[in-house]
Amino acid sequence: MAQQDPTENPIQSMLTLQEIAMAARQSMDPMMWDFVSGGAESETTLRRNRQALDRLAFRPRVLRDVLDVDPSTTFLGCDLRIPVFFAPVGLMQLIWPDGGIANQIRAAESFGILTMKSCINEPEIEDVAALSPGRIAFQLYVRGDADWVDAQAQRAVDAGCQGFCLCVDLARYGRRERDLLNGFVLRRYSPIDESTALAQLDWATVDRLRTKLDMPMIIKGIATAEDARLAVEHGVDVIYVSNHGGRQLDHNRGSIQMLGEIVEAVGDKAEVVIDGGFMRGTDILKAIALGARAVGLGKLQVWALAAGGEAALVRCLEILEEEIITAMGLLGVTSLGQLDTSYITAVEPVSEPGITSSYPRFE
């Protein structure tokens, strides 16, 4: 748990995202840092998330009028000030003393983005939905039978959520060796037991939920064009490209490596969003150029929370906005819709990928 008093944290003086990451590392208990920041087994997938982003370079255009740059977009019927949302991250109540999810939702509401609330965050969706009407989606880990799943979906409907997100890449809990070596036992803190498999979850579950939900349905954990096609055939509204931050299947591809084939497979039948290793405004613009609607912030979101609660979350978004606007101007575009694959090319990365390799002065 973070030990720093938020009233003593000079958040507004921070000018860079790496300052936020460094403040989080200093304030977090080492075991909690590993839980948030580590990955499965050899952490190959974790590092590929970063490496895949580093293997993409820009092809900027010049002599264009970029005096007025607009980085806004829409997602799930919400206006987003920048093309990001707070990804569903579990157990944020362990990160900040007065409750992570409330800080998260207030920060998102204040700045102007959307939050996906994990079902294992406290307080419950009924208690926080009023903090940001129209800007919350509910994400579910399946840990029960059909009646239980349907009841959770109804909670999202009753709370007025903008969407219902079904997480589908947790059929077995990934072997996160940092947690194993640290003796961090997840079932002490949440209903997820890392020693068990999910309850039955298949495309029939998706079909049943689709008939019960009067809201957009999101499937999180899509990693191939084949499953993306199946998802739209089953009426899914949003394809959420993710490898669970490198915390589930090791030796998976980096998230942005999956994006192109999935966008092509989906076409205009569903929106596509993504998470996985996004630490910079330039990272986000790469995903937009490849066809994503918006990008989920996972680890960066938690680091900001640990660095200083709601104020640090807002400051993180402000810095990201500055990075995005600067990069858009230098690319020669004034709106996100102008970006496409012509602005991206493949290159060799210049540094070894790692959890904080985006921040050269982190160490």
pLDDT at 91 > cutoff 90 = no
DSSP 80: E
Ranking 49-63, 183-197, 237-251, 299-313 by mean pLDDT, the lowest is 183-197
What would the mean pLDDT of 27-34 be, rounded to a whole number? 95
pLDDT tens-digit profile of 312-349? 999 999 999 999 999 999 999 999 999 999 999 999 99
User: pLDDT at position 124, please?
Assistant: 87
For residue 269, pLDDT beyond 90: yes
What is the distance between the alpha carbons of residues 152 and 139, in angstroms, rounded to a whole number? 10
Nearest to 199 by CA among 149, 124, 139, 249: 149
Q: Residue for token digits 């999180």?
A: 220
For the cut 80, the answer to whether the pLDDT of residue 121 exceeds it is yes
Give the mean pLDDT of 49-53: 98
| CATH code given to domain 39-346 | 3.20.20.70
Q: Could you give the CA distance from residue 77 to residue 62 in angstroms, rounded to a whole number? A: 33
Q: Which one, of 135, 53, 37, 49, lies nearest residue 89 by Cα?
A: 37
* pLDDT winner (highest mean) among 92-96, 111-115, 188-192: 111-115
pLDDT at residue 2 above 60?
A: no
Question: What's residue 195's pLDDT?
Answer: 55
CB-neighbour burial class of residue 252 (10 A; exposed 0-12, middle 13-18, buried 19+): buried
Cα–Cα distance for residue pair 208/319, rounded to 1 Å: 42
| Percent of all residues in the chain with a pLDDT value above 70, rounded to a whole number | 93
- Predicted TM-score (pTM) of the model is 0.94
Say if residue 7's pLDDT is above 70.
no
pLDDT at 1: 43
Any idea which of 141-155, 226-240, 294-308 has the lowest mean pLDDT? 141-155
Which residues are annotated as catalytic? 244
Residue bearing the bigger pLDDT, 142 or 270 = 270
95: tokens are 């990160």
Considering only 74-88, 98-112, 153-167, which range has the smallest mean pLDDT? 98-112
DSSP letters of 267-293? Answer: TTSSEEEE-SS--SHHHHHHHHHTT-S
- Return the pLDDT at 68: 98
Dihedral sign (CA 86, 92, 98, 102): positive
Domain boundaries, the chain: 39-346
